Structure 1
Amino acid sequence: MHQIVTEIDIAASPERVWSILMDFPAYPQWNPFIRSLSGVAKPGEKLRATIQPEERRAMTFRPRVLKAADQQELRWLGRLGFPGLFDGQHYFQLTALSNGYTRFTHGERFSGILVGVFISSMEAATKAGFVAMNAALKDRAEGEARDGSMHSEPSH
């Protein structure tokens, strides 16, 4: 197994961040890594995702939703070929912080017999894609908060 994990703190509520993550049709407008996402975020459902790490070609796949906990976590499982060959469990986790911010954890757990073959060639681009998406999510959530298009959070 191999894991890539990134984190960013966002000056917005988990509700605000979650609403952006769940607005799949808007992904092409702001998301530099997951260029499109469609489907229903409900366990057992299949999504259609197109990812494009920087300077790589786009890949479209059909992951199955494993978990969709409101304002907490979205997790899916994507596979290359058959189960156990190259599987990726992708997740977004939101943690409310005491200052009204949200800690956004974005990661993926890779498993399968081909992980060792592929991971070295894809790890840097994948991690860079996660970091770019995290920054874009932060900009979108905080920008809308500054513009007054959402309620400001009370400071603690």
Structure 2
Amino acid sequence: MYQIETGIEITASPEHVWSILMDFPAYPQWNPFIRSLSGVAKPGEKLRATIQPEKRRAMTFRPRVLTATDQQELRWLGRLGFPGLFDGQHYFQLAALSNGYTRFTQGEQFSGILVGMFISSMAAATKAGFHAMNQALKNRAEANDHIGHAHDDISKEWY
């Protein structure tokens, strides 16, 4: 198994950040990594996702939703071919901070017999795509934040 995880603190409430993540039709307007996302965020349902890491071709796949916990986590499982070949469990997690802000974590756990062959060529672009999306989500959430806090520039991002 191979895992990539990134995160960022967002000066907005988890409720507001979640509302942006769940507004799938708006993804093309703001998301530089997940260029489109459609379907119902409900366990067992299939989504249609198109991702495009910078300087890479777009890829469309149909992941199955594993978890959709309001204002906490959206997790799906995408597969290449059959189970165990190349699987990716992607997740978005939100944690409320004591100041009313949100810690947003995005990651993916890769598993399967082909991971070793492909991960070295895709890890850097995938991680860069996560960082780009995290920053774009932060920018969008803070542009129309409903908490009413003065915005300190807390551009804390971690790996």
TM-score (norm 2): 0.93
Residues 75-131 of structure 1: per-residue CA shift (max 9 Å, x gap): 000000000000000000000000111000000000000000000000000000000
Query: Runs of 5+ in structure 1 lacking a partner?
Result: none
2:32 matches 1:32: yes
**Which consecutive segments of 4 or more residues in structure 1 shift more than 6 A?**
none
Shift of the alpha carbon at 1:152? 1.9
Return the letter of the residue paired with 1:117: M
**Aligned pair 1:152/2:148, yes or no?**
yes
2:156 aligns to what?
none
Alignment of 1:90-105 (within 5 A): 90-105=90-105
1:153 offset after TM fit, Å? 5.4
Name the aligned partner's letter for residue 27 of structure 2.
Answer: Y
Residue matched to 2:57? 57
- The aligned counterpart of 1:87 is 87
Q: Which residue of 2 aligns with 1:74?
A: 74
- Within 2, Cα distance between the matches of 1:100 and 1:26? 25
Identity of aligned residues (%): 83
State the shift of 1:151 in Å. 4.5
- Structure with the greater relative contact order (CA < 8 A, sep ≥ 6): 1 or 2? 2
Q: CA 1:96/1:151 → structure 2, altered by over 3 Å: closer, same or farther? A: closer
Secondary structure of 1:27 counterpart: helix
Match of 1:109 in 2: 109
TM-score normalized with structure 1 length: 0.94
Q: Which amino acid aligns with 2:138?
A: K
1:13, 1:153 within 8 Å by CA — same for their partners in 2? no
Letter in 2 for 1:111: S
Contact 2:39-2:46 within 8 A present in 1 as well:
yes
Equivalent-residue separation in structure 1 for 2:16 and 2:9 (angstroms): 13
Q: Which residue of 2 aligns with 1:3?
A: 3
Which residue in 1 is equivalent to 2:141?
A: 141
